[in-house]
């Protein structure tokens, strides 16, 4: 349970860890990026906003901490990631759509609802890698590190380091989707999330993106 807590705490730091302090030109760039993201949050049908370069897909993921399997997850998305659902075997799920994020605990019938903040900051899961501004990439030393083939697909590898969290990360992106993420903490523990199966541009039942009836909209 200790390891699960550690890695899930790391995952929970999504989207809010970087602080930008660049010049006015950087601020203008970030303001423009924020307007684009606002458009995505408010209009999830907008095909011009791309979280991924894949229109829709189903990704089967496994997460490990120091070689110990933590959990299996399945990620469903369409509209280039504007609608996204993450489900795991613990009956916990996350829905991101229409400007809101819903964290559901099905066994307890509990839900946490919050405004969706798809900020272009560092994200340990790298689900927002394509949305990062140049300023953020500079802050985390976002560096291309060649190409590798994973699951029969050509992926671009990147390296980065987050000084505040003291995390070093290797990420392999396939059309913007992180099919493999290796994160090393100061104690040299390695967290790994990797895709075991990719189904892209397949038909997804629209009901998959509907919240359960017991959830208050």
The CATH number of residue 97's host domain is 2.50.20.10
On whether residue 18 sits in a domain, the answer given is no
CA distances from residue 135 to 86, 87, 131 in whole angstroms, order as listed: 28, 32, 11
pLDDT of residue 90: 83
Residue 190, pLDDT above cutoff 70: yes
On whether residue 195 sits in a domain, the answer given is yes
On whether residue 215 sits in a domain, the answer given is no
Residue 5, pLDDT above cutoff 90: no
Mean pLDDT of 73-80: 93
Residue 18, pLDDT above cutoff 80: no
Q: What is the residue range of 71's domain? A: 2-13+23-209
Residue with tokens 């559901």: 104
pLDDT of residue 65: 87
**Contacting residues for 23 by C-beta, under 8 A, at least 6 apart:** none
pTM (2 d.p.): 0.78
Residue with tokens 């605990």: 105
On whether residue 51 sits in a domain, the answer given is yes
pLDDT digits over 57-76, tens only?
A: 999 999 998 878 888 999 99
On whether residue 216 sits in a domain, the answer given is no
Q: In the chain, how many domains are there?
A: 1
DSSP, collapsed to helix, strand or coil, labels residue 12 as helix
pLDDT of residue 53: 92
Q: Is residue 154 packed enough to be buried (19+ CB in 10 Å), middle (13-18) or exposed (0-12)?
A: exposed
Q: Please, where are the H alpha helices in 66-191?
A: 134-139
């Amino acid at each position: 349970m200790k390891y699960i807590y550690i890695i899930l705490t790391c995952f929970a730091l999504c989207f809010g860890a970087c602080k930008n302090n660049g010049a006015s030109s950087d601020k203008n760039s970030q303001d423009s990026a924020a307007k684009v993201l606002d458009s995505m949050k408010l209009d999830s049908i907008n095909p011009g906003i791309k979280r991924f370069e894949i229109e829709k897909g189903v990704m089967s993921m496994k997460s490990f901490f120091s070689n110990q399997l933590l959990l299996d997850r399945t990620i469903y998305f369409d509209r280039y990631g504007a609608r996204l659902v993450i489900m795991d075997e613990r009956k916990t799920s996350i829905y991101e759509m229409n400007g809101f994020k819903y964290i559901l605990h099905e066994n307890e019938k509990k839900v946490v609802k919050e405004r969706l903040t798809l900020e272009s900051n560092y994200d340990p899961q790298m689900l927002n890698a394509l949305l990062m501004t140049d300023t953020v990439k500079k802050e985390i030393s976002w560096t291309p590190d060649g190409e590798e083939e994973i699951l029969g697909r050509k992926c671009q590898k990147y390296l980065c380091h987050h000084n505040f969290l003291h995390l070093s990360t290797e990420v392999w992106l396939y059309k913007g989707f992180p099919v493999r993420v290796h994160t090393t903490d100061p104690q040299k523990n390695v967290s790994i999330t990797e895709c075991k199966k990719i189904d892209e541009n397949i038909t997804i039942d629209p009901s998959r993106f509907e919240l359960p009836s017991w959830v208050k909209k």
